[in-house]
Each structure stands twice: as structure tokens, then as C-alpha cells.
Structure 1
């Protein structure tokens, strides 16, 4: 993600939002918390050196976008 041009981040956020909506619409669950942090999640992963820099989420469903970005999409489906 850090290799992307900053101008491409809005498109990534849009794709992440679409994937999140699709996943939650099939499995049920909390959608609002994850949607509320999509852009934040993209920005955090762009700026910080994850996984060396640790991210802490307030509630588990805020981590849905983070899980998608870190290759754990199957954990929300």
C-alpha cells in the first residue's frame, strides 16, 4: 500500500468500502463502524510501518477494513 501514489488512495478507499459493504451484506454484522474508518484505515497503513507499528481499534468491527487490507478478508466473511 505504501508504494501507491497518494493520488490513488481515494480509489483504494472506494474499493475497500465496496468490499466491506459486500462482505457485511452477506454475513450480517456491524457496518457503520467499519465504514466510518475506511479512509482512516487507508491513511494509517499508508503512513505507518505496519505490522511493526501496531494499530489498536476501539471495537472489533472497526477493524474490518484493516483485516481486508492485511489479507484477512476471509475473517469477515
Structure 2
């Protein structure tokens, strides 16, 4: 039969199945790591853009206007 030609022994079939099993586990682990990496990048990007925006606001507002502008910003939803 075709199976006999592909895997001459049950032991070789078992080894092949174990290899496939290990590859599937490796793939799942890799996908989890990729998702965590993407999530971390999104959080970092969000935090850095927020910091950049605050820096721009602080440098563009004169000391006299700071209270008024930041008072408006903090009262908005």
C-alpha cells in the first residue's frame, strides 16, 4: 500500500507525527509571541505619541496661557 511505501515502519510514522506535533507547537508559540510584540508596539506607539503631544503643547503655550489651555483640556471628556 501507499502508506507502507511512505513509512516503512510504525516507528518512522511515529517519529514523523512527533515532528509535525512539535512544528505545530512551535507555530502556536511563534504566533503568541508575534501578537504580544505587536501589542507592545501599539502600546509604546500610543504612549510615545501622547508624550510627543504633551511636549508640543508645553512648548507651544506661553506660561500665561498654560493655565487657561490646560484647564480646558482637563475639563474635556
TM-score (structure 2 length as normaliser): 0.31
Report which of the two structures shows the higher radius of gyration computed on alpha carbons: 2
Higher RCO, 1 vs 2 (CA within 8 Å, ≥6 residues apart): 1
State the TM-score, normalized to the length of structure 1: 0.31
